[in-house]
Structure 1
Amino acid sequence: MFELAVELLQRLDSDEPVAVVTVTRVLGTAPRPVGCSMAVVATASGERVLGAISGGCAESSAHALARQVLASGGPVSEHLGFDEWAFSTGLSCGGQLRVLGYRLEADRTDLIAELRAAAEGLDAALAIVSRGPDELLGRVVTLTGGDAALPAGVLGVVRKELAERLVDGRCSVIELSGDLELAVLVSRARPRLLIFGAVDVAGALSRLGRQLGYRVTVCDARALFATADRFPDADEVVVDWPARYLAGTSVDVRTVIAVLTHEERFDVPLIVAALTGPAGYIGAMGSRRTHLRRLDLLRAAGVSAEALARLHSPIGLDLGAATPMETAVSIMAEVIAARTGSAARPLAQGSGPIHAVVAPA
């Protein structure tokens, strides 16, 4: 749901009826995770569909469920499984989905507040009753609020789970007694992509990074090159000595640092500083010869072998990239592989499910 936050709020502000269908549980293998949603908007000129729940497999079923919700107004829980009925909906990937359809209305203040936080790029989290008594279906709990209709003992358990999921960024499912189930949906604040070096690849990388959900900063000590006009997709363009800027800005385990300058006077102090921090990915551009010379300089600067093992250099996966955008794709592909622990080999060379197998919570 949170991936549609901006569009959903726009429709809500326009007083257009909106029904949302959200994946509340995944059993087995499926292309989309818990929390992803499709919305159907009733506009003056007809229907508009936003988002998807299955990458194509079950969109017709989601659309039909959303239309049902628009007509009835009440929430509806459905199960999409791999059986005879599933074949008619096109869900042939082998997994099973539970989905919840519900109206998005202005009086759902707790839900709307979390949508607004997500739309602004801030942390957002809520739990929604996805299975249980009809009178509780679709009720929402947040870190600071909770539907009065829910049992008092539920709120503490759910809020503890919400706080934990905001740390690791994972959606989850809570099963409680009485056949009560809540889907925990989270959206972390945008992670940072720090690009050092106002070069041509930086422009492509900032564009791709923004599309992938990063808050992008381009930093270079040369004011002539580090301008907002040259990097319109960056959230900020900073003129500063790279190592000095890095020392004074916020970095966490989700931060990506891309060093594109391949000038030793910038690179070495910057990489030394980066390797002492918690950034999840640190990559540096340069040829293999440049990389070997840079390693010698970093060792001379006192960087340990353990720290050097965190450095991705030469930066990116070997995709045969030639253009700036192709190079940006190779860099972000390596970032994704590093984050997920993937071997980054062609899917055709692997075996087993293409999508992650999600065990029941």
Structure 2
Amino acid sequence: MLNIADTLHRWCRAARPFALATVVGVHGSAPLPTGTSVAVDPDGNAIGSISGGCVEGAVYELCRQVLEEGGAPRRAWFGYSDDDAFAVGLTCGGELDVLVQRVDPAAQPHLAAAFDEARRGRPTAVAQVVDGPEELLGRTLCVLGDADAAHGTLDAGALDRTVTAQAVALLRAGRTARVEIGGDADTCPEKLSVLVHVHASRPRLLIFGAVDFAAALCRIGHFLGYRVTVCDARPVFATAARFPEADEVVVDWPHRYLERTRVDARTAICVLTHDAKFDIPLLRLALDLPVGYVGAMGSRRTHDERLRRLREAGVPEARLARLRSPIGLDLGARTPEETAVSITAEIISHAHHATGLPLSHGTGPIHGPLVRHQADGRSTPHPAARVGVDR
């Protein structure tokens, strides 16, 4: 739902009820991930997409129906049918599990605050009950910013505390996911499935070395949604004028800056200096930090020499194995722009545990890694080729 936070915030401020259709499970290949939503207001205005166009018409009509009739949330499954290629379904062959509910902003006032935080780009988590007792289905609570306190309530007790802890953990990890809760006397006697929607702050791309390749990497990093920092010890090169797409340009020794800046598991570090006096202290520190990616530019000869120096500096083999060098995927890149594509392609591949091979060389769902990371907790998928509504 946070993919359409701007519009939902306006509707909440105007106290306009709306129907919300949310992807709560993905099986096989699907165009958009778990947590993506479509919303429809009383005038028939629609915002968002859950399938890239395949099933939007059917979802829209179901939203209108739920908004007019009210009642308990409804469930719909959209898949592909070989028996009827013209049926409403996903042409990609996957299957979507969709929850459709009526949302009254007056009954859940905390949602307006969550949507406001998300549209401002601030860290936000919304925990939505997607399976469980009917009286809880569709209910939400929110975690805003770095606070551990929740806004909204499910039971004003142990369940709130458990769901809040899950939401805080996923917010810090920057990941939307579905979690199973309850089934015990201490938390909740009935099992619940809760989808935690997360809008995290932008991941960081730290570029060390104010070179031409850095300028191109800034541009593509900005395009991909990273918060981009360029750092170099040479003030004549590290200027905002040379890197207009960077969010910040820092003049400092790279390792000193890395020591004091904030990083996390989504941070990507790219070392483009290929100068030992900068590289070795920087990489020695970077490989010891809980970041998502560390890559260094240079020839294979430079890489071998760099490894030798890092070993002499006491870096263990397990840490050296984290280093992506020479940096980037083998695309035949020559220009700074092509090299930037090569580097960011490797960052994306590494983040999703993908192979980096051409899709035409593989088999099976093309969004396999996405399904693995956002598995919805069901032990078996819904029957293939099913398209319908569970009332």
Distance 2:176 2:31 in 1: 16
Write the deviation string for residues 139-195 of structure 1: whole angstroms up to 9, x where unpaired.
Answer: 212343455575755323322332343344241144666686532222333222111
State the 1:94 CA deviation. Answer: 3.3
Q: Helix, strand or coil for the counterpart of 1:189? A: coil
Q: Is the 8 A contact 1:131 1:180 kept in 2?
A: yes
Instruction: Give the match for residue 196 of structure 2.
Output: 184
**Is 1:346 aligned with 2:358?**
yes
Structure-2-length-normalised TM-score: 0.77
* Alignment partner, residue 61 of structure 2: 64
1:38-83 per-position Cα deviation (integer Å, ceiling 9, x unaligned): 345799xx95644x21244323333434455666688853312336
Partner residue in 1 for 2:126:
126
C-alpha separation between the residues in 1 aligned to 2:140 and 2:108? 9
Change (3 A) 1:337 1:83: closer
- 8 A contact 2:80–2:89 mirrored in 1: no
Map of 1:38 onto structure 2: 38
Unaligned runs of 5+ in 2: 144-148, 183-188, 379-391
State the partner residue of 1:91.
Answer: 90
- Structure 1: gaps spanning 5 or more residues: none
1:234 matched to 2:251? The reply is: no
Contact 1:110 1:145 in 2 (8 A): no
Q: How does 1:162-311 map to 2 (within 5 A)?
A: 162-168=167-173, 169-174=175-180, 181-311=193-323
- Amino acid corresponding to residue 89 of structure 1 in structure 2: V
Q: Check the 8 A contact 1:204/1:325 in 2, yes or no.
A: yes
Aligned-pair distance for 1:219?
0.9
Could you tell which deviates more after superposition, 104-113 or 317-326? 104-113
* Corresponding position of 1:116: 116
> Alpha carbon RMSD of aligned pairs, Å?
3.4
Over 3 Å counting, the alpha-carbon distance change for 1:266 and 1:42 in structure 2 is farther
Contact residue 27 and residue 360 of structure 1 kept, 8 A: no
Kindly state the Cα deviation for residue 317 of structure 1 after the two structures are TM-superposed: 0.5
> Which whole-Å CA distance do the structure 2 matches of 1:293 and 1:342 have between them?
29
The answer on 1:156 being equivalent to 2:156 is no
| Residue 326 (str. 1) matches residue 323 (str. 2) | no
User: Deviation string for 1:301-323 (max 9, x for gaps)?
Assistant: 33332222111111111112233
The aligned residue for residue 75 of structure 2 is 78
- Cα contact 2:208–2:230 (8 A) shared by 1: yes
One-letter identity of the residue aligned with 2:4? L
Instruction: Give the C-alpha shift of residue 268 in structure 1.
Output: 2.2
User: Partners in 2 of 1:201 and 1:122 — Cα distance?
Assistant: 30
CA contact (8 A) 1:190 1:214 kept: yes
CA separation in 1, counterparts of 2:219 and 2:10? Answer: 24
Matched position secondary structure for 2:278: helix
Structure 1 residues 302 and 232: alpha-carbon distance in aligned structure 2, compared to 1, 3 A threshold: same
CA contact (8 A) 1:75 1:100 kept: no
Shift of 1:281: 0.9
Q: Check the 8 A contact 1:24/1:100 in 2, yes or no.
A: no
Distance 1:305 1:152, change over 3 A: closer
Query: What per-residue deviation string (whole Å, max 9, x for no partner) do you get for residues 224-267 of structure 1?
Result: 32222332322211111112111121222221100112223322
- Displacement of 1:28 after TM fit? 4.5
User: Which secondary structure state, in structure 1, belongs to the residue aligned with residue 236 of structure 2?
Assistant: coil
Partner of 2:388: none
Structure 2 CA distance for partners of 1:108 and 1:315, relative to 1, 3 Å = same
Amino acid at match of 1:117: E
For 1:116 and 1:47, the matched residues in 2 are separated by 20
